Amino acid sequence: MGLDRPLQRLFLGFLFLSLTVSSCVARFVVEKNSLTVTSPESIKGNHDSAIGNFGIPQYGGSMAGTVVYPKENRKGCKGFDEFGLSFQSKPGALPTFLLVDRGDCFFALKVWNAQKAGASAVLVADDIEEALITMDSPEEDGSSAQYIENITIPSALIEKTFGEKLKKAISGGDMVNVNLDWREAVPHPDDRVEYELWTNSNDECGVKCDMLMEFIKDFKGAAQILEKGGYTQFTPHYITWYCPSAFIVSRQCKSQCINHGRYCAPDPEQDFSTGYEGKDVVLENLRQLCVFRVANETKKPWVWWDYVTDFQIRCPMKEKKYNKDCADTVIKSLALDSKKIEKCMGDANADAENPVLKEEQNAQIGKGSRGDVTILPTLVVNNRQYRGKLEKGAVLKAICSGFEETTEPAVCLSGDVETNECLDNNGGCWKDETANITACKDTFRGRVCECPLVDGVQFKGDGYSTCEVSGPGRCKINNGGCWHESRDGHTFSACLDIEGSKCQCPQGFKGDGVKTCADIDECKERKACQCPECSCKNTWGSYECTCSGDLLYIRDHDTCISKRANEEKSAWTAVWIILIGLAMAAGGAYLVYKYRLRSYMDSEIRAIMAQYMPLDSQAEVPNHVNEEHA
């Protein structure tokens, strides 16, 4: 039935071929993600869950929800609409995690039915006590392939006992809240992400191969940007199997293996008598490995993506071009060293190990936290297997979450991983409507509220309720959030281009400087231009004063003077300057005198004198006394 028990699956296609890693079955490791029960208290805590190999997990993010266990259709094998059930969460409510039981149908079908009924995630409770496995999509099944493509919600398998705890809590009337967390799903040990794609050159294996080919084409651009920028180190891998020694001379092994049964691949058509043989696939896989090695040696590992996509397009099995000649034209067109590639590939007929393929077989076995690679295709990011749809945006998200926050390259913040949360209510972030500036930023981690940098001017604030421009250039942006207005060719602004300054109405205006600055009527409010000969007229931001007759208005003195008295006035100015100078000199002399007097009188003398006459600095006396006592 292909019920996603991995070993069953593995042996189905390759009945007589044993998997290299089968000897290690006992320690088959599945990547786990943390599922946390946040309420009720009685079952609170972390639990393991294995994310399904379809749907779109939120790498770098997390999802909270309420667990619902359906009253009917508990295995989820039928559409829930047949039972009149809907799990669409109401506005404002937490999303629904639908709990279903394992068994009777494909995992993917359960998830698809749940998604159609409005669930936001699916938990599949295992039906036997066993270590968690990865829920994979069924292979080579035309009808299921259509809905698998459309699964967007994440799903996770949970252990039987944990499932029972959840069911018990739900039947007891408890509201069960959980949090599915992908934040730590991808470790980020350094500022470079290492990732591997376990792939296959076979383009005729049905839905899975089509999906892989599509993904490689789609992802090539991003992969090359990441690689050229030194952000990632990518390595392609290919799975091969070996033929058990008893069968090495059989027709099947001969047609599917090279190097005397050491490296095999299943027949592309599952028919040994026609078309391409497994052997052809192994050879092309080996060639692609060698293309990578040679390209990597010349420090251009990304050429592998070009080769693989070009080969797909130019040398498909359908057109009977899946062969060495066609591969050579692609190698040539990419200016790769074909001699080196030949040498790397070695002799396929030799009864000896091929070092390149041997290394691949070794790499298949899990190391450290990474489980064995048994599903094709498999993506491994920072030594953790990626689970979820092989789709550009989702994979980019997973790779990007391998970077530490703020060290991610620009491609991680591009359209492909946008969540569009900013479009809805501006993501709850600060926004300046008039200047159309927002603190909302779409990232692969979801939206963040961060005060922006606009035209080289940094906004500062919490990003949610406030962002303010500060520093030089602040008036360039929306006038620094201050009032400004233009009338009759005059513009006034309340913005000062000084670090840390607040909005301040310019001279001639009063107000808060932010929303309003109102003109001051200098004629009335400031008593300007009040001399008998004056006539005052208020203007916007200022006033005009005219003097009657032949008089001239002097704004600084707010007075009218005779035009002819100009010399007189300057004489008077000189007198004033002299007078002010004398006054200042007298004041200075007095200060000097006082200072010197003080410095001559030491505190002892002043203490004695204080008994006879009051001094202007008597306060110092008690101080002095205190000092003596101290």
Ligand X SMILES: *[C@@H]1O[C@H](CO)[C@@H](O)[C@H](O)[C@H]1NC(C)=O
Interface with ligand X (CB under 6 A): 146-147, 149-150, 235, 293, 296, 301, 436
Distances (CA, A) of 79 to 52, 82, 141: 20, 6, 19
Residue 104 CB partners (closer than 8 Å, separation 6+): 75, 77
Q: Which amino acid is it at 616?
A: D
| Consecutive H or E run containing 534 | strand 534-539
Q: How far is CA 298 from the centre of its chain?
A: 32
The β-bridge relationship of strands 155-158 and 121-125 is parallel
Shortest Å distance, C-beta 490 to ligand X: 27
Tell me the C-alpha distance between 79 and 68, whole Å.
16
Q: Which is nearer to ligand X, 65 or 236 (CB)?
A: 236
Q: Which is nearer to ligand X, 97 or 147 (CB)?
A: 147
Angle at 298 between CA 295 and CA 301, to 5 degrees: 40
Token readout for 79 is 């559409």
Shortest Å distance, C-beta 53 to ligand X: 18
Shortest Å distance, C-beta 255 to ligand X: 29
Q: Which is nearer to ligand X, 45 or 230 (CB)?
A: 230
Tell me the C-alpha distance between 10 and 373, whole Å.
11
Shortest Å distance, C-beta 146 to ligand X: 4
Shortest Å distance, C-beta 20 to ligand X: 19
Distances (CA, A) of 81 to 75, 113, 125, 270, 342: 14, 9, 21, 39, 59
Q: Which is nearer to ligand X, 284 or 519 (CB)?
A: 284
Shortest Å distance, C-beta 75 to ligand X: 20
Shortest Å distance, C-beta 424 to ligand X: 14
- The answer to whether the beta carbons of residues 212 and 200 sit under 8 Å apart is yes
Tell me the C-alpha distance between 382 and 380, whole Å.
7
Residue 207 CB partners (closer than 8 Å, separation 6+): 139, 140, 141, 142, 145, 148
Q: Which is nearer to ligand X, 291 or 494 (CB)?
A: 291
Q: Which is nearer to ligand X, 147 or 307 (CB)?
A: 147
Q: Which is nearer to ligand X, 146 or 535 (CB)?
A: 146
Q: What is the DSSP letter of 372?
A: P
Shortest Å distance, C-beta 355 to ligand X: 12
| Consecutive H or E run containing 285 | helix 278-297
Q: Which is nearer to ligand X, 101 or 360 (CB)?
A: 360
Shortest Å distance, C-beta 150 to ligand X: 4
**3-state percent breakdown (helix, strand, coil) of the chain, nearest 5:** 35, 20, 45
Tell me the C-alpha distance between 211 and 54, whole Å.
12
- The answer to whether the beta carbons of residues 104 and 127 sit under 8 Å apart is no
Q: Which is nearer to ligand X, 360 or 372 (CB)?
A: 360
Q: Which is nearer to ligand X, 179 or 296 (CB)?
A: 296
Shortest Å distance, C-beta 395 to ligand X: 20
Token readout for 505 is 């109405």
Shortest Å distance, C-beta 354 to ligand X: 15
Q: Which is nearer to ligand X, 6 or 79 (CB)?
A: 79
- The answer to whether the beta carbons of residues 318 and 224 sit under 8 Å apart is no
Tell me the C-alpha distance between 122 and 102, whole Å.
11
